[in-house]
A and B are shown apart, each in its own frame.
Chain A
């Protein structure tokens, strides 16, 4: 068992002695950005043009749903959100620290990425995980 939390997804990086961040893979040919490692661009087909980029921790809410019915053991309601990060990369996650009511959720509301424990979820070996969440931007 790891004594430090593991990353909930491969594109969440937890560097030694620095803040966690989200990593994208950007195509040097067409500029498309992807979450997760890849060698070939599915937008333009270019090979071996991928390089890693650190994704920004700020963006805007693009779309969402408020989930009331999920699988057993999943706490509801929660807001499933699609966020466009400031560099244009789209990413999905939970929008937290907002009352799950359409009245309180505005399209394009500024959000920031925050990193926290993965809701107490542990894997079969007992490892804890670090995940990312969205919350209304502090300046908003």
Chain B
């Protein structure tokens, strides 16, 4: 126990003496939390819209003005020809082009049916789908008013049946993305700091030669690992605290559940992440190798955490893989506790899984630390 305290004191001195590092550990995550929380949204806004009106009638003008008035669309220009519209999509200056053909109004009145052409840049498939929904609903609205105006006695045959779907967004009725993203990004930042610091630590001593000096002392393997793990564990918890305060002050993120629950979970979670880091550090020979491995896992953990893209959408084999992704569990739990007020019972499955994970990975970390080569 005393040995561990000496290790702790040493590690803390080294951490706090390295000023540029402290800035990176604390300032970089805070700045990123503040900036990036607003970036990660699938909400489709400011759709750049252009129109080609070959009809030039009151109806066609009214349809265009509906788009101009809509909040989702940014009106860019009216193009005289279809070719120009195509070019604009190609250059990426416009997302949606509405082409109103000649005789649009006449067809509607005479043929009782009329066509429109909508072109959407669909490279971002999901955004294109949403844009399509917006476009269709404006056209539909317009269609309804037109029908009311044109319909005469002879036409009142049958009223179509309608299913009225009312969407209700629980826990977050305004679909506020920052509420969702801030806790998630906070998790990622805490994870990266912990993983990278732990991943570099032991291998750094290997490279500098100080590890050999430690190895000739009678220090126990588990003492060494605990001594290495604890400082970063404390740092991680501190980072989480700072982050939560910022989440409250800057973004007014609610804390519906008990914060203690969150820290309970975080303490187990950090053991897993740090264990992975130390295992990597023991396994590698140079800091460069260690960082590449840490980077490899960090990218996988982040992109497969369910934060940016839903886990349910992944193929089954990938979903099975995410069971081994600690970040997934914390992203889930931090939202459950902060936004839904989940109880200890609700998060028990995640807690138990991570607890087992922590045991296994830290056992590996102790085992992989070889005092004798």
Q: Do A and B bind each other?
A: no
**Which A residues contact B (CB, under 8 angstroms)?**
none
